[in-house]
Chain A
Amino acid sequence: MNWLQVILTVVTIGSIFSVVTLALNLQYARGGMINFGVVAYFAAGAYIYAIFTHPAPEGLDQYIIGLDWPWWAGFIAAGIASLLFAVLTGWPTLRLRGEYLAVTTFAFAEVLYSFLLNERRIGNGAVGLSNIERPIRDWGTIDEKYIFAIVAVALMFLTAWIFRKLLNSPYGRALDAIRDDEGAAQAIGKSAKRMRLQVFLLSAIPIGFAGALYAMYMTLVSPRLFTAEVSFIVWIALVLGGERTIWGAMAGTFGLILLEEVITSLPFESVSAAQNAAAMNHVVTGLLFIAVLRWQPFEWISKKLEKK
């Protein structure tokens, strides 16, 4: 096993998904909103980045729009697209609470997935858009994989820093007040509806950027990359890391990706070994989840980091 490669993958993928977990942490743990459709905002960012940077269709292509704009225009557009999708979905749904909001956001995500899968003129349907613009290339002797990891970590820390600043400000305390006692907060003039919508929109922007980075890293956008599984992974990461802490969201995500990578990193030199591994993969992952949930080490790590 090449540990350097495992660590690089964990750092890169972990950082990208951490951005989504951080946004979910803001929505759920601080804003009190259960969003089971978080993958939709991630997909919106990735697809818009692809459409903005992809060349115009030719030959057998079925998509109709490819703007061929530079990567930075696509990156900015990804954040805006995610924000606009949050406006579209947040405005009519945020009056709902608890499981009703969870089901509605999940439904919106499924609608978007079905739309991307069946409307071939947007992103080539099931096959998706491949060869997505990847602006990060080698810097002299430094391989692009290191640069990618650095960029992903930078996006994660920037998101964490902004969210931390926000939550430590009077605005963050007002948000906590609404979550703890909505009636009391409204009695002193805080609009719960407006503040929830603001948090929902604000948290969607970094998810869009993370989606664009994910599209660059994968060099592919396809509906299969944006199934409900992504939402569940992010939720599991949040539970593992312990909600309400920024470090917890990050520790949970990194822990989850690390477990997955370690389990799938053994080289198998025969078909039967690979088949055994495929069969055992879910069993081992399940056992590890049980162990992690029993002892919650990532929550412990995040609490230690928070104290510092």
Chain B
Amino acid sequence: MTIALKAETKKYQRFFKTMGFCLGIFAMTLVSTMILPMRSAHAEKQVTVGVLVPLTGELGEFGTVVARSIELGVKQINTAGGTTCGKIRLVTRDTHGNPERGIREATKMIESEGAVAVIGPESGVMVALVDLAKRKKTVIMSPYAGTITLNKLGGDFVYRTVSSDLGDGDASGMWLTEKGYKKVAFLVQNEESTISPAQVAKKIVEKSGMKLTDFVIFNPGQPSYQAELISVLAHNPDAIYLAGGQQSGVTVIKEATSGGFAGEWLFTADLAVPEVFDNVGAEHINGRAYVEFADADRSLPEFKAFEKLYREEEGKEPGPFASNSFDMINLVALAIEASGQCSGSGINSAIRDVADGGSVVTTFAEGKAALAKGMNINFEGASGPLKFDKSGGVSGAYSIQAAKNGKWANEKFYPASVFKN
């Protein structure tokens, strides 16, 4: 009996040793990137902001751009002395593009890390977090969640520095009309963020008298989209409007090209990343593909200043929604400064005021100085003026870029004033 017990004990000692070994590898891999920030975290007064972005999956490229832009903003804010609650400390996590994971990670950020705001989620996760944000009185904010569901749910603790998907649909519809195509087909991924703008663009296309040959909704994650493409290619459209993710979209483009499609493309924002040229093959889309996305007015001095900073720090041009992300963290910091409260409620009470209705400021440092003098401020950031509407969104401008020499190049800019909604 004693021998058996000893054998059992040894067996489980080995198990726990192996488990410890595995966790040890994990910890050691991360220690080099964590140790310095952790040391500084305990050294001074800080306020925590959660960065909840998709670092993997269909939107992984966007998530990385967003998180890096937020880091740039924090660097600038902390260099300016931080907020009244101390310097900003970021806690970054991956949503994996999964709402359930998003809820669990956001809960940890709020409950365990004391985050006063959770910023950066994509549409599906933003919608999932609305109830949590209101219950926990923590601000959630996104630089690219255009979903029309937030037109109803947003406004209190829920904000975004990008306009609704309805604007994307308008811009796409306008571009297709201006190009003078005779026949257009729509291929739309089965997601809220792709279907809602597609429906708006479809209405504009139909109204213009253009022939809509197909409106196909496809599910992401399929190994092939041949079945969806049969009818589309049979009608030989002049252009295909493709609202797809970075994985499914690439497969659709490749299969349509190998299927003999020789017309033009209009992609939506998910494909507005440089990686699409490597993944598809630049020769297949150069000169015949365009992409539409919510964009800053690149002629604004605030954008130019941000672009310069981004180039210096990252060594490349700012990606899609980089300026919206940079503005988002600045707004959070200014709201903390204006309210003087280190809480989500404090940010929620002041965020609209700092975005509209006082002296124009373009950086956190300017805003902090103006607030210290007792002035009201109006933050106008790199992505343009940021006046929140009732649902916590802003009006936005849109760009069309063309595929030229393996890069996206500016083709057309639609300022916010063009749109009615």
Residues of A within 8 A of B (CB): 1-2, 5-6, 9, 13, 58-61, 114, 117-118, 124-128, 130-132, 134, 144-145, 218-220, 222, 224-225, 262-278, 280, 284, 287-288, 291-292, 294-295, 297, 300
Q: Are A276 and B128 in contact (CB under 8 A)?
A: no
Q: Are A295 and B22 in contact, CB atoms less than 8 angstroms apart?
A: no
A74 to B39, alpha carbons, bound, how many Å?
49
Residues of A within 8 A of B311 (CB): none
Contact status A270-B94, CB under 8 Å: no
Count of residues in B whose CB is under 8 Å from the partner chain = 64
* CB-contact partner of A268 in B30, B147, B195, under 8 A: B30
Asked whether A270 and B33 contact (CB < 8 A) given A275-B55, A280-B26, A295-B14, the answer is yes
Given A2-B111, A269-B90; A297-B71 close (CB under 8 Å): no
Contact pattern, B 80-110, Cβ under 8 Å of A = 1, otherwise 0: 0000000001111110101110011101100
Interface string of B120-142 (1 = CB under 8 A from A): 00011001101110010000000
Considering only CB atoms, which chain A residue lies closest to B110 in the complex? A5
Q: Which stretch of B149-157, B234-242, B270-278, B382-390 is in the interface? A: B149-157
Which one of A9, A219, A268, A287 contacts B104 once the chains associate, using CB atoms below 8 Å?
Answer: A9
Count: A-B pairs, CB below 8 Å: 174
**A contact residues around B190 at 8 Å (CB):** 117-118, 125-126
**Given known contacts A126-B190, A218-B103, A275 and B64 CB-to-CB distance under 8 angstroms:** yes
20 contacts between A and B (CB under 8 A): A5-B112, A59-B152, A60-B149, A118-B217, A125-B195, A126-B124, A130-B127, A218-B99, A218-B103, A219-B132, A225-B99, A263-B26, A266-B34, A267-B113, A271-B68, A272-B33, A274-B94, A275-B94, A287-B22, A292-B15
Do residues B105 and A300 form an inter-chain contact, with CB atoms below 8 A?
A: no
**Which single residue of chain A is at the shortest CB-CB distance from B70?**
A271
Q: Apart from A280-B30, A287-B25, what are 13 other A-B pairs with CB-CB below 8 Å?
A: A2-B112, A60-B149, A60-B151, A124-B192, A130-B127, A131-B153, A220-B103, A220-B128, A265-B108, A269-B41, A271-B55, A287-B22, A294-B18
Give min CB distance, B17 to chain A, whole Å. Answer: 9
Contact between A274 and B93, CB atoms less than 8 A apart: yes
> Judging by beta carbons under 8 Å apart, are B124 and A222 in contact?
yes
Complex interface: chain A residues within 8 A of B29 (CB): 276, 280
- Asked if B409 is an interface residue, CB under 8 A from chain A, the answer is no
List B contacts of A270 (CB < 8 A).
33, 37, 71, 90, 92
Question: When the two chains form their complex, are residues B131 and A219 in contact, meaning their CB atoms are under 8 A apart?
Answer: yes
Distance in angstroms from B119 CB to nearest chain A CB is 13
Any A CB within 8 A of the CB of B356: no
B412 to A: closest C-beta gap in Å: 28
Query: Which residue of chain A lies nearest to B152 when distances are taken between CB atoms in the complex?
Result: A59
**B56 close to chain A: CB less than 8 A:** yes
| Residues of chain A contacted by B15 (CB below 8 angstroms) | 291-292, 294-295, 297
A297 to B93, CA, bound (A): 30
The answer to whether A276 touches B33, judged by C-beta atoms less than 8 angstroms apart, is yes
**Which residues of chain B are within 8 angstroms of A5 by Cβ–Cβ distance?**
107-108, 111-112
B191-A126 in contact (CB<8A): yes
Contact at A130–B71, with CB atoms within 8 Å?
no
- Establish whether residues A284 and B151, one from each chain, have CB atoms under 8 Å apart when the complex forms: no
Q: Which residue of B lies closest to A291 (CB)?
A: B18
Contact flag A295-B12 (CB < 8 Å), given A9-B104, A269-B91, A278-B94: yes
> What residues of A have a CB within 8 angstroms of the CB of B206 in the complex?
none
Closest to B95 in A: A278
The answer to whether B192 touches A284, judged by C-beta atoms less than 8 angstroms apart, is no
Kindly list chain A residues whose C-beta atoms are within 8 Å of the C-beta of B153.
Answer: 130-131
Contacts of A60 in B (CB 8 A): 148-149, 151-152
- 4 tightest Cβ-Cβ pairs between the two chains A and B: A2-B112, A127-B192, A295-B15, A269-B37
B1 within 8 A of A: no
Q: How distant is A55 from chain B, measured CB to nearest CB, in Å?
A: 11
Closest to A131 in B: B131
A75 CA to B105 CA in the complex, in Å? 27
A300 vs B8: C-alpha distance in the bound complex, in angstroms? 9
Instruction: Pick from B26, B55, B98: contact of A274, CB below 8 A.
Output: B55
Interface centre among B67, B113, B123, B192 (most CB of A within 10 A): B192
CB distance from A121 to the nearest CB of B (A): 14
Shortest beta-carbon distance from B330 to chain A in Å: 18
Residue contact A218 to B100, C-beta cutoff 8 Å: yes
Q: Please, how many angstroms separate the alpha-carbon atoms of A272 and B56 in the complex? A: 13
Q: How far is the CA of A280 from the CA of B100 in the complex (A)?
A: 20
- Least CB distance, B204 to chain A, in whole angstroms: 18
Cross-chain contact B192 with A125 (CB below 8 angstroms): yes
Complex Cα distance A225/B149, Å?
Answer: 18
